[in-house]
Amino acid sequence: MTRVLHVLTGPTAVGKTELALRWAEANGAEIISCDTLLFYRGMDLGTAKPTAAERARVPHHLIDGCDLAEPMDVARYAALARTAAEDIAARGHAVLVVGGSGFYLKSFFAPVADEVAVPPALRDEIASKLDHAGLPALVAELLALNAGSLGALDTANPRRVTRALERCRASGQTLAALAAEFARQPAPFAGWETRCTRLDRTPAELDARITARTEAMLTGGLIAEVRHLRASGLENNPSAASAIGYRETLAMLDGKLPEAQLAAEIAKNTRALVKKQRTWFRTQLPPHRALDAAAVAVADMF
């Protein structure tokens, strides 16, 4: 029997959580979160994490799975999601993936990470070279290892250049060879049927929902949450500290942003994120259904 993944996605603030809960209740499903910030304990208000009451309605997976100090990457996420999906299916329940984290969402459709293991000492060596010699030195080394051609690599992006050099050094292969090897990998969910639905709303509706969501975060205690997380090492986790809601609040706590402007700054950056998400959905998702979240009937979501 073919196992089925139901994937519900859409931009931030579109209303995925409540519709997902209603569909899961109606179809005996369990939910796998595809928002990697929800993985971190304590990051509640700024991520609009499903509440305890919402999680009591339907079993949720990959929420509150690790502390801020624990690293999360797409390979680890895909492995955990696969285990969760197999466990849910073994219990005879439907699997519903919910979220809008694009790169992680892609793990349900295609290969997303190679198997090159980078030793910590090599990673530290390359990071030190970036700090002391600068990005051009890393690009020059990469060119020497790749016969003078780096393909479509964004050589102005330090993170991508660093990662590329790590992989070439660790594997002894060129970027072209690594790309060809990667393309031959099976997807994490090979053998599953995937049914994807994307929710959307009009720009005016989304703007209003973003404003309301931001106000609810601040009224609910976002500033206190960020103070507590900072004391617990939030800034040692760059991905978490740079997340919308958290980075603006950190700036406000440091005196770089007036508190009176905090809500407006979070809402502005959330709208910019929504624009990027829509572009990603349009260019990266496989064929899928697109539905108006304001009018969709739960029975018609998949």
**Domain range list for the chain:** 3-111+187-300, 120-183
Strand residues in the chain grouped as ranges (E): 3-9, 29-33, 60-61, 94-98, 192-200, 289-292
Residues with pLDDT less than 70, the chain? 1
Separation between Cα atoms, residue 5 and residue 93, nearest integer Å: 11
Separation between Cα atoms, residue 158 and residue 130, nearest integer Å: 8
> Residue 221 has what pLDDT?
98
Strand partners, 96: 6, 31
> Residue 268 has what pLDDT?
98
> Residue 255 has what pLDDT?
97
Confirm or reject CATH 3.40.50.300 for domain 3-111+187-300, answering yes or no: yes
Q: Domain 120-183's class?
A: mainly alpha
> Residue 241 has what pLDDT?
95
Three-state secondary-structure class, residue 31: strand
Q: Do domains 3-111+187-300 and 120-183 have the same CATH topology?
A: no
Is 58:17 a contact under the CB 8 Å cutoff? no
Q: Which residues of 210-242 are buried (b: 16+ CB within 10 A; e: fewer)?
A: bbebbeebbeeebbebbeebbeeebeebeebbe
> Residue 1 has what pLDDT?
67
pLDDT digits (tens, 9 = 90+) for 107-117: 999 887 777 88
State the number of CA atoms in the 13 A half-sphere of 285 facing the CB: 24
pLDDT digits (tens, 9 = 90+) for 260-269: 999 999 999 9
**Which of these, 293, 171, 151, lies nearest to 161 by C-alpha position?**
151
> Residue 68 has what pLDDT?
92
